[in-house]
Chain A
Amino acid sequence: MRDVLFLAWRYLAHNRVKTVVLVGSIMLIVYLPVALRVLVTQSATELTSRAEATPLLVGAKGSPLELALSSLYFSADTPELTTHAEASRIAATNYATSIPLYVRFKARSQPIVGTTLDYFDFRSLRFAEGRNMTMLGECVLGSRAAEILEAGVGGSVVSSPESVFDIAGVYPLKMHVVGVLEPTFTADDEAVFVDLKTAWIVQGLVHGHQDMAAPEAAPGVLAREGDTIIANASVVQYTEITPDNIDSFHFHGSLDDYPISAVIAVPHDQKSGTILMGRYEAPDEPMQILKPTTVIDELLGTIFTVQNFVVAGMLLVGFAALATASLVFILSLRLRQREIETMARIGGSRLRVAGVLVTEVAVVIGMSIVLAGILTLLTARFAPAVVRVLLLQ
């Protein structure tokens, strides 16, 4: 038996290129569909885990997918906006903890997420360095955001205009970085977290400027009507919040009228969640409430359907490749007819010669399967990280 193995091994070693091509081809035929399934399953796990960790989302009626993707992954277009009154309304029911989100602006490529401190507790976010934001104009960076923006505690990041054509838009706000979060391998790593009120400053709804009642502000005054001063656009707003000017930052109108993109509702128990959902069932209700898992499951259903087509295509290609490999083996036997005759003449029985040839094929297939297995193991091991990177991008 050792002689058969030796001859088969020597043949394969001598014809390295042919062996490598055959092993590589068969390995890929086995590996690709399996790896695709591993990656898709891992993607589904990642997407689902974020959705499962978010009990309910409330937002203005519109695309549920946009609302879910914007609120869970801070990606997709900004959904229809609602107002902070919705967060207050949910909190007032005492059925759920209400966590407002305002995901609309960016600091370069990174999403600025306006929220409350409850979000940090809700997502169990931990600090790698620094502390949580305490005052207007402070921000906390996710781990990836800190890398990409090249900023750390003590540094600063600047909000970006919504559009390059927004000439009359608000001034960018320079925000002070007071904390950097540990990696979570979720969308939180990409975010620039700010207080909701800071997000409204980014939008220009809350702002600070010189005292319009002061004599030096006279050129910026359009009119005085009783106790009201109407200022014109020449009034320069502060683009950075400092201890010297923070007292000048003020709100116009009620906070409940200020915009948010969604509310994460964390019901106190299952019954509370059901009652809360029931409150949004009225046909004239302008808000929608959704379970993120339902939306993500629908999305995954689509992904799995596409995956099945891809796998079916791969299997067809695989069969064709296997047929080609078989042809290679058969043609190889014809080319090696003289070699086979030589082995017979020097005393090799037909069984022994057949054994050598079968062993060569078996070793090639065996090596292919082992390598495919190794690659699959590696894929499974690193799939979470790869998928997280892909999802975050």
Chain B
Amino acid sequence: MRLASSFAFILLLIIAACGGNGPEPTAPIAEEAPDRLLVYTVSYPLAYFAERLGGAEVEVVFPAPPDEDPAFWSPDAETIAAYQNADLILLNGAGYAKWVERATLPSSRLVDTTANAADRLLELSGTVTHSHGPEGEHEHQGWAFTTWLDPTLAIEQARAVAAALRSRLPESDAGIAERLVALEDDLTALDARFAAAAESIGEEPLLFSQPVYQYFIHRYQLNGHEIHWEPDVEPDGKMLSELGHILDHDAARWMLWEGVPMDATVAALDEREISSVVFSPCANTPAQVDWLTVMNANAEALETIAAAHRSH
């Protein structure tokens, strides 16, 4: 009888073992793909290119706050998680947006828009680097990163954006190609305006308020001097003294600002017969207009300098 009850117990065990259910499935990590291709960018120019090229097929997000410089902005974990969920992440390359180096992003969805123009990147000089031990490898000095201020480089970036979009939206291939032609036309026209103005300006020295105009200076062979003045900070004695040293060698009459400078700064420059004009790199989203409008405004500013140079 005891043997029989043992047998029954084993049978119950088998039934229990065979009848077990696994855990209920839960939601996967990746969220469901949206209807439109979700594109995140690290700068406003790239967002502008993606919007123009992608049209209605893409949703472009550039999450940097408008008052931040995207080159030095550090997104929080939540924003990085949003980047991780994007279908495509457009990078400027040249070390722009340092946070990218320190963040975890899906490499298969990253597109470096200056990868095909690596030989045209400008190396920064004068930055301090270090190595560990006499044989240690040196830290790289870094690259100038405001690449889009050279419209021919901006065209390369637009082409990289178009290629990335076309590979992900093959059904929109013709539309993207058509829009790329239009964008290239705009950038070529912009380049022509800049070039014409620069030719008129010739060797006249120009002051640039920030060290972010390297590609612009290089492209148009301008006699440019980059200093480090903030539009919202009044220059102190040391800054004015440094300016004086530059003026001793090159009597510049114009300073190009990334934003509207303070009245006191304008007055201080006026005393030195230096006029101020705004030439915005437009790295972040402008308040009302778009990137091309800002660049055309920059061209007008340069044309003003050129006209003044001709009349001088």
Q: Which residues of A contact B (CB under 8 A)?
A: 13, 87, 91, 94, 97-100, 116-118, 120-121, 124-127, 131-136, 138, 178, 182, 195, 197, 212-213, 222-223, 227-233, 235, 246-247, 249-254, 370-371, 374, 377-378, 381-382
A253 to B141, CA, bound (A): 10
Determine whether the beta carbon of B106 is less than 8 Å from that of A228: no
A195 to B74, CA, bound (A): 18
What would 18 more interface pairs be, CB under 8 Å, given A91-B108, A227-B126, A252-B140?
A87-B107, A97-B108, A98-B108, A116-B106, A116-B108, A117-B84, A124-B28, A126-B26, A135-B80, A228-B138, A230-B134, A247-B98, A251-B140, A252-B138, A370-B7, A374-B14, A377-B17, A381-B14
User: Which residue among B11, B27, B80, B98 has the maximum number of chain A CB atoms within 10 Å of its CB?
Assistant: B80
* B139 contacts the other chain (CB 8 A): yes
Determine whether the beta carbon of B77 is less than 8 Å from that of A134: yes
* B56 contacts the other chain (CB 8 A): no
Knowing A132-B81, A252-B139 are in contact, say whether A381-B18 is a contact too (CB < 8 A): yes
Closest partner residue, chain A, to B20 (CB atom): A381
* B5 contacts the other chain (CB 8 A): no
* B237 contacts the other chain (CB 8 A): no
A329 to B138, CA, bound (A): 85
A231 neighbours in B (Cβ, 8 Å): 130-133
Knowing A136-B102, A229-B129 are in contact, say whether A378-B27 is a contact too (CB < 8 A): no
Interchain residue pairs with CB less than 8 A apart (18): A87-B107, A99-B108, A117-B105, A117-B106, A132-B104, A135-B80, A212-B130, A222-B134, A227-B125, A229-B128, A229-B129, A230-B136, A231-B133, A252-B132, A253-B138, A371-B10, A374-B11, A374-B14
CB distance from A339 to the nearest CB of B (A): 22
Q: Which residues, 60 to 116 on B, are CB-close (under 8 Å) to A?
A: 74, 77, 80-81, 84, 98, 101-108
Knowing A118-B107, A135-B80, A252-B138 are in contact, say whether A126-B29 is a contact too (CB < 8 A): yes
A252 to B129, CA, bound (A): 10
CB distance from B122 to the nearest CB of A (A): 16
B17 neighbours in A (Cβ, 8 Å): 377-378, 381-382
* B240 contacts the other chain (CB 8 A): no
Determine whether the beta carbon of A117 is less than 8 Å from that of B14: no
A131 neighbours in B (Cβ, 8 Å): 77, 81
Closest partner residue, chain B, to A137 (CB atom): B102
User: Which residue among A91, A131, A252 has the maximum number of chain B CB atoms within 10 Å of its CB?
Assistant: A252
Determine whether the beta carbon of B30 is less than 8 Å from that of A121: yes
* B127 contacts the other chain (CB 8 A): yes
Contact of A227 among B18, B106, B127, B137 (CB under 8 A): B127
Knowing A252-B139, A378-B17 are in contact, say whether A229-B28 is a contact too (CB < 8 A): no
B138 neighbours in A (Cβ, 8 Å): 228, 252-253
Closest partner residue, chain B, to A136 (CB atom): B102
CB distance from B28 to the nearest CB of A (A): 6
B308 neighbours in A (Cβ, 8 Å): none
CB distance from B132 to the nearest CB of A (A): 6
Knowing A228-B131, A230-B131, A231-B132 are in contact, say whether A246-B102 is a contact too (CB < 8 A): yes
Bitwise, B138-173 to A at CB < 8 A (1) or not (0) is: 111100000000000000000000000001000000
